[in-house]
């Protein structure tokens, strides 16, 4: 996953924004990432990935799924949730 990849697909929040938010705002709980353009407050698919970034010592280095498989898995998640 590169810095331009969108992590929260519901709100179009890119990894770069999340990493910057984590570095500068130092959220004390992963739920506070919602203050970063609403990340995680839609379908909920991205929440485990938000937690992965938030809990990492080096969020910019975290390995996340490639964009296509990430988006496909989210669609499956949304279908199961509806």
Residue ranges that bind ligand FES, judged by CB under 6 A: 8-10, 40-46, 74
CB nearer to ligand FES: give 3 or 57. 3
CB nearer to ligand FES: give 9 or 64. 9
Question: What's the closest the beta carbon of residue 28 comes to ligand FES, in angstroms?
Answer: 20
CB nearer to ligand FES: give 60 or 77. 77
Q: For 47, how many CA atoms within 13 A lie in the half-sphere containing its CB?
A: 11
Please provide the DSSP assignment of 47-77 as one string: HHHHHHHHH-S-GGG-----HHHHHHHHHHH
């Amino acid at each position: 996953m590169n810095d331009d990849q969108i992590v929260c697909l519901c709100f179009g929040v890119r990894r770069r924004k999340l990493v910057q938010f984590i570095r500068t705002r130092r959220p004390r709980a992963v739920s506070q990432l919602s203050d970063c353009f609403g990340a995680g407050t839609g379908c909920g698919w991205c929440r485990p990935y938000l937690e992965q970034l938030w809990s990492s010592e080096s969020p910019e280095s975290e390995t996340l799924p490639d964009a296509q498989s990430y988006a496909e898995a989210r669609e499956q998640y949304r279908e199961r949730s509806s």
